[in-house]
Chain A
Amino acid sequence: MMRTVSLETHSVRQVNQWLHEQNAKLEEENWQITEPQGRHALACGLDQALKLTIDGHAGYYCAGMNKQAEVVIEGSAGVGVAENMMSGTVRVRGNASQCAGATAHGGLLVIEGDAGARCGIAMKGVDIVVGGNVGPMSGFMAQAGRLVVCGNADEALGDSLYEARLYVRGTVESLGADCEEKNMTPEDQTELAELLHAAGYRNTFRTEEFRVYGSARRLYNFQIDQAGPDR
């Protein structure tokens, strides 16, 4: 059973309300939103293991604060897709605008096309896999989590980076302040392979094609006892 709702005939507020009603008890698992037309704040604040497809382009902050849900956007996404996601997965079939996955704590964000500027800004534990390129200042002030870029990274990658790890397959236009290339360890290879597998790219890209970048730990007031194991 699939519940299909059109945003031509229902307001975003109404549709989000129906989705939130599933938070207490899952009664309808499969949802489809049609005619999104770039509207903002679609499927924000989900907290249930439901499956939702958005049949077109989404506007700002789509699937923001997501918990548990599996959201697929069949088009492109505007600013801040999956911002502050806690868990679950969000997949964008097209491109994503700037600040994709901003401040997200957990879950998996997959962008099959390109991501705009500041992808993964201030990410706090989310995993982001981008099939194409990322825009300038991606990984800006990223604190934890993994960003995998299967294409190229634009200027100032990882500026003012904390402890997130950034994997890039293609070229890096320039590194931001305090971001440096690290040696790829066997543990890195393993986690990268897992991420590519989770994102559906296991047979598309090989881990040896990637380089890994991290914080040089010279910029912020770093205290070793506040960090996880140094990789």
Chain B
Amino acid sequence: MCGIVGLYLKEPTLQPQLGALFEPMLAAMADRGPDSAGFARYGDEAPEGTIKFTLQSSSPTEPAKESGQRVAERMEAMRNVLDQELTWTQHAEAIVLRTDVDEQTVKAWLREQWPEATVMSVGRRIEIYKGVGHPRIVARRHGLAGLGGSHMIGHTRMATESGVTLCGSHPFTTGRDLCLVHNGSLSNHNTLRRRLQYQGHSFETDNDSEVAATYLAWRLQEGDTLTQALEGALVDLDGFFTFTVGTRDGFAVVRDPIACKPAVMAENDALVAVASEYRALAHLPDIENAAVWEPKPARIFVWEQGAATTLGSRNLPHTFRRA
């Protein structure tokens, strides 16, 4: 199983309530994924030249919650070594670090000085928070209901292909301000992982969804647009999937060519939302007057700041298309 939820608020006056509207969506999908949960929040934008890193501890022995003092010491150490502008906010179990130091330097320092810290997300807007446990508890731990922003992408996990761990939970980062959530399972992920490892990519887990995330990150690095990368995924990924990709300005949804996994979308004047089941949308404002539909198989649906496009993929090999 697994559950997917996404919410974009077109109505700016609702944006401070994003987390409060999103938390019941995530909780409604707990039946589909009670193991672990996570969400990407697109909130305030870091100034030009600055990026945010969201960090969580991945060590099973070290509690995810570090004392404020310990974190402060680490951050001070980092600031002294890198000798650059660096601020941080500690949430319950995550640290959002803001700096103008480049991404590779920060990651190298973390690898050496704080190997338990996992970089959940990198970007000017995105922050990814996740955890093991019932989605309601994970949401509460991260104070989801109090977070604002323009959009959020979330996931509730019922693990099938790999262990229940912090790193195995979704969303996965797929590049700056990008993330991926996945409902389904891939059958060629080992082959694809080896191919990506040859390309120089490394993996935190043996999770199939991480392979999909890394695949998309690789395509985007190679210069693909998001749509091209997702079209590539329809060809190269074998298995069942509904993917939702969070972007700086919105989100994209794509289902496998036989639409094995569910997805429901809704749009009204105030919002655009996606979920595995309608239940997750039932409490959204003015949902009675929303258009509600299911995205077609092997079509890429992109919603970004006021422009919705459904891209046909007529040239793709449909498994059941006959000549």
Contacts and interface: CB of A to CB of B under 8 A. Distances in A.
Interface of A: 37-40, 57, 59-60, 76, 78-79, 95, 97-98, 116-117, 135-137, 154-156, 159, 174-177
A155 B279 CA distance: 28
Given A117-B297, A174-B322, A38 B277 contact: yes
A59 B296 contact: no
Interface residues of B, number: 19
A155 B293 contact: no
B296 A135 contact: yes
Contacts, number: 60
A180 to B, nearest CB: 12
Contact of B259 (A76, A78, A98): A98
**Does more than half of chain A's interface fall in helix, strand or loop, or is it mixed?**
loop
A155 B320 contact: yes
B294 interface: yes
Given A98-B262, A136-B259, 15 more contacts: A38-B279, A38-B281, A60-B277, A76-B292, A95-B294, A98-B294, A116-B294, A117-B258, A135-B259, A154-B296, A156-B321, A156-B322, A159-B320, A175-B322, A176-B322
A38 B279 CA distance: 5
B218 interface: no
Contacts of B258: 117, 136-137
A38 B282 contact: yes
Interface string B272-284: 0000011101110
Contacts of A159: 320
Given A135-B296, A155-B321, A57 B262 contact: no
A175 B321 CA distance: 9
B259 A117 contact: yes
Given A136-B320, A175-B322, A59 B259 contact: no
B279 A37 contact: yes
A136 B259 CA distance: 9
Q: Which 7 A-B pairs have the closest CB atoms?
A: A38-B278, A37-B282, A38-B279, A156-B320, A38-B282, A117-B259, A116-B294
A75 B113 CA distance: 57
Nearest to B280: A38
Contact of A37 (B264, B283, B297, B318): B283
B278 A57 contact: yes
Contacts of A76: 278, 292
A59 B278 contact: yes
A175 B323 CA distance: 10
Given A97-B262, A98-B262, A174 B279 contact: no
B130 to A, nearest CB: 26
B297 A136 contact: yes
A187 B104 CA distance: 74
A37 to B, nearest CB: 4
